[in-house]
Amino acid sequence: MADSHNESVTWLTQEAYDRLKAEFEYLSGPGRVDIAKKIEAAREEGDLKENGGYHAAKDEQGKMEARIFHLRQIIDSARVGEAPRTEGVVGPGMTVTVRFEGDDEEVAFLLASREESGAPIDVYSPKSPLGSAINGKKIGEKATYTMPNGRSNTVEILEAVPYIGN
Protein backbone atom coordinates (compact mmCIF):
# COMPACT_ATOMS: atom_id res chain seq x y z
CA MET A 1 0.00 0.00 0.00
CA ALA A 2 1.56 3.28 -1.11
CA ASP A 3 -0.04 5.30 1.71
CA SER A 4 2.49 4.18 4.32
CA HIS A 5 5.02 6.73 3.07
CA ASN A 6 2.51 9.42 2.13
CA GLU A 7 3.35 12.67 3.95
CA SER A 8 -0.31 13.69 4.24
CA VAL A 9 -1.54 10.53 5.99
CA THR A 10 -1.55 10.40 9.79
CA TRP A 11 -1.88 6.86 11.14
CA LEU A 12 -3.78 6.72 14.44
CA THR A 13 -5.03 4.01 16.70
CA GLN A 14 -8.80 3.90 17.15
CA GLU A 15 -8.33 5.20 20.72
CA ALA A 16 -6.22 8.19 19.61
CA TYR A 17 -8.66 8.99 16.78
CA ASP A 18 -11.66 8.85 19.14
CA ARG A 19 -9.87 11.07 21.70
CA LEU A 20 -8.94 13.69 19.09
CA LYS A 21 -12.41 13.60 17.52
CA ALA A 22 -14.04 14.13 20.94
CA GLU A 23 -11.69 17.06 21.68
CA PHE A 24 -12.48 18.58 18.27
CA GLU A 25 -16.24 18.22 18.79
CA TYR A 26 -16.05 19.80 22.27
CA LEU A 27 -13.85 22.72 21.21
CA SER A 28 -15.80 23.48 18.05
CA GLY A 29 -19.15 23.27 19.88
CA PRO A 30 -19.47 23.91 23.64
CA GLY A 31 -15.90 25.26 23.83
CA ARG A 32 -16.67 28.04 21.37
CA VAL A 33 -19.87 28.91 23.23
CA ASP A 34 -17.99 29.08 26.56
CA ILE A 35 -15.26 31.36 25.23
CA ALA A 36 -17.82 33.63 23.56
CA LYS A 37 -19.57 33.99 26.95
CA LYS A 38 -16.24 34.84 28.65
CA ILE A 39 -15.51 37.50 26.01
CA GLU A 40 -18.99 38.99 26.33
CA ALA A 41 -18.79 39.09 30.14
CA ALA A 42 -15.38 40.78 29.99
CA ARG A 43 -16.61 43.23 27.34
CA GLU A 44 -19.40 44.32 29.70
CA GLU A 45 -16.78 45.32 32.30
CA GLY A 46 -16.02 48.48 30.31
CA ASP A 47 -12.93 50.00 28.69
CA LEU A 48 -11.42 47.29 26.48
CA LYS A 49 -7.94 48.90 26.34
CA GLU A 50 -7.31 48.21 30.01
CA ASN A 51 -9.45 45.12 30.39
CA GLY A 52 -7.12 42.19 31.19
CA GLY A 53 -9.97 39.67 31.32
CA TYR A 54 -11.11 40.61 27.83
CA HIS A 55 -7.60 40.33 26.35
CA ALA A 56 -6.99 37.01 28.13
CA ALA A 57 -10.29 35.62 26.80
CA LYS A 58 -9.47 36.78 23.24
CA ASP A 59 -6.01 35.18 23.53
CA GLU A 60 -7.60 31.94 24.76
CA GLN A 61 -10.03 32.08 21.85
CA GLY A 62 -7.15 32.42 19.36
CA LYS A 63 -5.33 29.43 20.84
CA MET A 64 -8.53 27.39 20.81
CA GLU A 65 -9.22 28.22 17.15
CA ALA A 66 -5.65 27.20 16.26
CA ARG A 67 -6.14 23.87 18.06
CA ILE A 68 -9.47 23.33 16.27
CA PHE A 69 -7.75 23.97 12.93
CA HIS A 70 -4.89 21.56 13.81
CA LEU A 71 -7.32 18.84 14.97
CA ARG A 72 -9.37 19.24 11.77
CA GLN A 73 -6.21 18.68 9.69
CA ILE A 74 -5.27 15.56 11.68
CA ILE A 75 -8.78 14.10 11.56
CA ASP A 76 -9.13 14.79 7.84
CA SER A 77 -5.84 13.05 7.00
CA ALA A 78 -6.15 10.26 9.58
CA ARG A 79 -6.20 6.60 8.75
CA VAL A 80 -7.35 4.46 11.65
CA GLY A 81 -5.41 1.26 12.13
CA GLU A 82 -1.83 0.37 11.64
CA ALA A 83 0.39 1.62 8.87
CA PRO A 84 1.52 -1.17 6.58
CA ARG A 85 4.85 -2.39 7.96
CA THR A 86 7.67 -4.52 6.65
CA GLU A 87 10.22 -5.71 9.18
CA GLY A 88 13.63 -4.26 8.38
CA VAL A 89 12.18 -1.24 6.56
CA VAL A 90 11.66 2.02 8.46
CA GLY A 91 8.09 3.34 8.44
CA PRO A 92 5.33 4.63 10.73
CA GLY A 93 4.55 2.23 13.55
CA MET A 94 8.07 0.84 13.67
CA THR A 95 10.49 0.80 16.57
CA VAL A 96 13.69 2.06 14.98
CA THR A 97 17.21 1.77 16.36
CA VAL A 98 19.83 4.08 14.87
CA ARG A 99 23.42 5.10 15.50
CA PHE A 100 24.39 8.70 14.88
CA GLU A 101 27.59 9.13 12.89
CA GLY A 102 30.54 9.75 15.22
CA ASP A 103 28.70 8.29 18.23
CA ASP A 104 28.87 4.72 19.53
CA GLU A 105 25.58 4.97 21.40
CA GLU A 106 22.46 3.43 19.88
CA VAL A 107 19.14 5.26 20.09
CA ALA A 108 15.76 3.54 19.83
CA PHE A 109 12.45 5.31 19.24
CA LEU A 110 8.97 4.80 17.83
CA LEU A 111 8.33 6.41 14.45
CA ALA A 112 4.71 7.55 14.77
CA SER A 113 2.40 10.54 14.94
CA ARG A 114 2.91 12.79 17.96
CA GLU A 115 -0.79 12.26 18.64
CA GLU A 116 -0.01 8.66 19.62
CA SER A 117 0.67 9.50 23.23
CA GLY A 118 1.45 7.04 25.97
CA ALA A 119 4.30 5.15 24.29
CA PRO A 120 6.93 4.18 26.88
CA ILE A 121 9.72 5.17 24.48
CA ASP A 122 10.47 8.42 22.63
CA VAL A 123 8.20 9.12 19.66
CA TYR A 124 9.56 10.80 16.53
CA SER A 125 7.17 12.06 13.88
CA PRO A 126 7.57 10.67 10.35
CA LYS A 127 7.30 14.33 9.29
CA SER A 128 10.27 15.45 11.44
CA PRO A 129 13.64 15.99 9.70
CA LEU A 130 15.00 12.68 11.05
CA GLY A 131 11.74 10.81 10.49
CA SER A 132 11.37 11.87 6.87
CA ALA A 133 15.06 11.10 6.15
CA ILE A 134 14.87 7.53 7.43
CA ASN A 135 11.34 6.66 6.26
CA GLY A 136 11.62 3.80 3.74
CA LYS A 137 15.27 3.05 4.55
CA LYS A 138 16.43 -0.51 5.22
CA ILE A 139 18.69 -1.92 7.93
CA GLY A 140 22.30 -1.04 7.18
CA GLU A 141 21.45 2.04 5.13
CA LYS A 142 22.44 5.56 6.15
CA ALA A 143 20.43 8.75 5.94
CA THR A 144 21.58 12.35 6.20
CA TYR A 145 19.17 15.07 7.31
CA THR A 146 19.28 18.75 8.23
CA MET A 147 18.59 19.54 11.87
CA PRO A 148 16.62 22.65 12.93
CA ASN A 149 19.91 24.42 13.74
CA GLY A 150 20.98 24.07 10.09
CA ARG A 151 23.64 21.43 10.64
CA SER A 152 23.42 18.08 8.93
CA ASN A 153 23.60 14.76 10.72
CA THR A 154 23.89 11.20 9.48
CA VAL A 155 22.39 8.09 11.04
CA GLU A 156 22.76 4.41 10.28
CA ILE A 157 19.67 2.21 10.53
CA LEU A 158 20.44 -0.71 12.87
CA GLU A 159 16.98 -2.15 13.39
CA ALA A 160 13.37 -1.56 12.32
CA VAL A 161 10.71 -3.80 13.89
CA PRO A 162 6.96 -3.37 14.31
CA TYR A 163 6.05 -1.62 17.57
CA ILE A 164 4.14 -4.02 19.80
CA GLY A 165 3.08 -1.62 22.54
CA ASN A 166 3.68 -1.50 26.25
Cα distances from 90 to residues 57, 87, 106, 112, in angstroms, run 44, 8, 16, 11
- The pLDDT assigned to 5 comes to 44
The answer as to whether 22 is a domain residue is yes
| Whether 70 and 128 share a structural domain | no
> How much is the pLDDT for 35?
92
Q: For position 2, what pLDDT does the model report? A: 37
12 and 73 inside one domain: yes
In this structure, are 154 and 124 located in the same domain? yes
Q: Which of 163, 7, 137 is nearest to 154 (CA)?
A: 137
> What is the domain range of residue 47?
2-80
The total domain count for the chain is: 2
pLDDT at 92 exceeding the cut of 90: no
Model confidence over 104-120: pLDDT tens digits? 889 998 888 766 656 67
DSSP element (H, E) containing 152: strand 152-162
Where a domain ends, among 40, 55, 80?
Answer: 80
Render pLDDT for 50-79 as a digit per residue (tens, 0 to 9): 788 888 889 999 999 999 998 888 888 877
Provide, rounded to the nearest whole percent, the portion of the chain with pLDDT above 90: 35
Phi and psi, residue 75, nearest 5°: -60, -40
CA torsion sign for 112, 116, 119, 125 is: positive
- Same domain as 100, residue 74: no
Is residue 88 domain-resident?
Answer: no
Q: Model's pTM, two decimal places?
A: 0.53
pLDDT tens sequence across 15-33: 778 888 999 999 999 999 9
Query: What is d(CA 78, CA 130) in angstroms, rounded to the nearest whole number?
Result: 21
Count of C-beta atoms within a 10 Å radius of residue 125 = 17
* 103 and 133 co-located in one domain: yes
44 and 9, same domain (yes or no): yes
Asked if residue 155 belongs to a domain, the reply is yes
